[in-house]
Chain A
Amino acid sequence: MAKIIVHQDAIKDRKEVVKVCPFFALEYENDELILNAACKMCNICVKRLPEVFEYVEDTLPEIDKNAWRGIAVYIDHIEGNIHPVSLELIGKAKEMAVRIDHPVYCLVMGDKVHDMAEELLHYGADEVFIYDKPQLYDFRIEPYTAVFENFINRVKPTIVLVGGTTVGRSLAPRVAARFRTGLTADCTTLDVQENTDLDQIRPAYGGNIMAHIHTPNHRPQFATVRYKIFNSPERSETKSGKLTSCSISDEFLISKINVIEIKKKEKLKSIEEADVIVVAGHALRKEEDLSMINELADMLGGMVATTRPLIEAGWTDPRMQIGLSGRTVKPKLIITCGVSGAIQFVAGMNSAEMIIAINSDPKAQIFDVAHYAIIGDIYEVIPRLIEKLKEFKD
């Protein structure tokens, strides 16, 4: 544990010193400079004015890290199909497990999920724990949390990875709180140290800053990761590892929630699944011009997505929005057409494998992340591009 001590005597300029903190956490109380509740322990003050601010570590009883072994992945599934984010996490877990010589575990819960669990053995999990109960058919928070708790008590994993799906983002904090441990949200980089401490890097402030986060004295270390951040491992023909059926008594599966109905949203393949995405930006002058973008996407076997202004204009469905308040995508190819590249948009697409941006403004921000920056008018470039692609097809 650590704290920041203020050396009052070392303060030279009483007004300026307050500005050192970007979080407004410095203030005077009875003439004394203090760190108020806004302090994030970011240590910026310590770096800027080391003579005034001192970082000190108190020694607290340390937990026994050797008592916790294995990297566990929560397997999310929809209608009997494994959510691909869970496979990506198995890949990541394997990569880290090798480094610390730990096993990789999977946790599967649901109703009639045995076949699905077996499939996981093609992806390199060492042991798959199955909780198969009719009460787990629908996602309801209390039974799912209880099963997760049972699993952790049984297995004692040092790291738990959960996909950042609707279910994962609701379940992971609940379980982490039950174990009074830390949870880092939406990690984009994960690495493990020899002592099993997890290095977690995640974007915050809408993708404007990256934070490197540790959970040094608590276990398990929980992290959520969004879909398409890591790569899915190859499915191997042969199976490895084993399946373990677990039981939990019915009294833990009681819920105050009753699922009345599950309605399908109208079927629209989600842009997260597309390998190729063509993005229509605010440069489009009228709704009809979307047809040009649609045609380009069709030619490339891809999907159309848009920036927020087009959703706000009501031209496109909100599920087609990429960005901070939309979807995160990681296609093989993304072509942005008349998109300025606001950070909130870029946060949702900058891990695409290939980024091609068309914009008439040579200073457009989107060019900072583009592999190919095409400085031109979309109304000139795209029609010719489509024509040419048609020629190739014939």
Chain B
Amino acid sequence: MNITVCIKQVPGTAEVEIDEKTGVLKRNPIDAKMNPYDLYAIETAVRLKEEKNAVVKVITMGPPYAKAVIKEAYMMGADEGCLLTDRKFAGADVLATAYALSQGITRMGDFDLIICGKMTTDGDTAQVGPEIAEYLQIPHVSNVRRIHEINEKSIIVEMDMAESVEIQEVQLPCLITVEKDIYQPRLPSFKLKLKTANRPVQIITFKDLDDKNVMHYGLYGSPTQVLRIFPPEPNTTSEHWEGDGEELGEKLAEKLKELKFV
């Protein structure tokens, strides 16, 4: 069985600040890291591998230094890795990202199951997984919180809905996006780090893909455009109360009454 996991490199911290005048992100170049939600996707794949003798491949699309997340995946038990990188992929939105990934996944060979994280901590759209599935014309299930069983033909999963849980049997090949509580991700192992230090990372560029129409990739293949980014608006109407705790309690009770909450 072949399991492909999609992983993304994201900024090391979400605490970005924007200069209001210039609209520029004030961020020190801090280390990039693996999207934390993708650790659950890798863990899921590695668990299935331990149980079912599968081959786990990881793929990431990003700049050359995104190779680091593939190396990290090796340390968690992934067998093969591929970096999809090319200047032609720059400026991709979800549609162009999912398209390039679907092309890259096909290029990597057979797959029975594709696993994505629930979302990322930067773009955080949670849309890439379903769009990859559409391009590959396979069924998908989002928000998988548990896997009941997997065999050669199908997988039985629990989809987490707001008020209920739906148990679905899905024929392979298919794509799932996993919730963060599915399994506790293991830490990268030092033993695997040594063992995989020289394991190569396959590099796939534009010219290796089947579809060589540049209009389908990167900025050209992206229907959405980010026009502007800006900081969220702070609330300006605020009243500050100080004083003795008990008095504050009484004052608050009066206020709640005045506001008709009691």
Contact = CB atoms under 8 A, between A and B. Distances in A.
A333 interface: yes
Main secondary structure of the interface of A (DSSP, over half): mixed
Interface stretch (A103-111, A118-126, A375-383): A375-383
Interface residues of A, number: 112
Contact of B156 (A181, A260, A300, A332): A260
Contacts, number: 322
Contacts of A348: none
A205 B232 contact: no
B32 A24 contact: yes
Contacts of A376: 241-243, 245, 248-249
B124 A372 contact: no
A185 B125 CA distance: 5
Contact of A22 (B16, B89, B94, B261): B16
Contacts of A380: 244-246, 248-249
Given A185-B124, A368-B234, A213 B225 contact: yes
A48 B22 contact: yes
B131 A371 contact: no
Q: Which residue among B62, B128, B140 has the maximum number of chain A CB atoms within 10 Å of its CB?
A: B140
B239 A371 contact: yes
Interface stretch (B44-52, B70-78, B191-199, B252-260): B252-260
A239 interface: no
Interface in B216-262: 218-220, 222-232, 234-235, 237-246, 248-250, 252-257, 259, 261-262
A27 B231 CA distance: 27
Interface string A179-217: 011111110000000000000000111111111111111
Interface string A324-350: 010000001100000000011000001
A35 B87 contact: yes
Nearest to B102: A177
Contacts of A247: none
A17 interface: no
Contacts of A243: none
A41 B226 contact: yes
B2 interface: no
Interface stretch (A65-73, A86-94, A151-159, A385-393): A385-393
Interface in B148-196: 156, 159-171, 174, 180-181
Q: Which residue among A138, A174, A217 has the maximum number of chain B CB atoms within 10 Å of its CB?
A: A174
A235 interface: no
A39 interface: yes
A355 B250 CA distance: 18
24 contacts: A2-B225, A37-B62, A141-B133, A174-B130, A182-B223, A183-B94, A183-B125, A203-B232, A204-B229, A205-B16, A206-B124, A211-B226, A211-B228, A265-B165, A270-B162, A300-B262, A325-B180, A373-B241, A374-B248, A375-B248, A376-B249, A384-B248, A389-B256, A392-B257
User: What are the nearest 10 A-B pairs in CB distance?
Assistant: A380-B245, A384-B249, A182-B223, A388-B253, A182-B224, A185-B125, A22-B25, A218-B223, A177-B134, A173-B127
Interface of A: 1-3, 19, 22, 24-25, 27, 34-42, 44, 47-48, 78, 138-142, 145, 165-167, 169-174, 176-178, 180-186, 203-218, 255-265, 270, 276, 299-300, 318, 325, 332-333, 343-344, 350, 354-356, 358, 362, 367-377, 379-385, 387-389, 392-393
Interface of B: 11, 14-18, 22-25, 27, 29, 32, 61-65, 85-87, 89-95, 98, 121-131, 133-135, 139-143, 156, 159-171, 174, 180-181, 218-220, 222-232, 234-235, 237-246, 248-250, 252-257, 259, 261-262
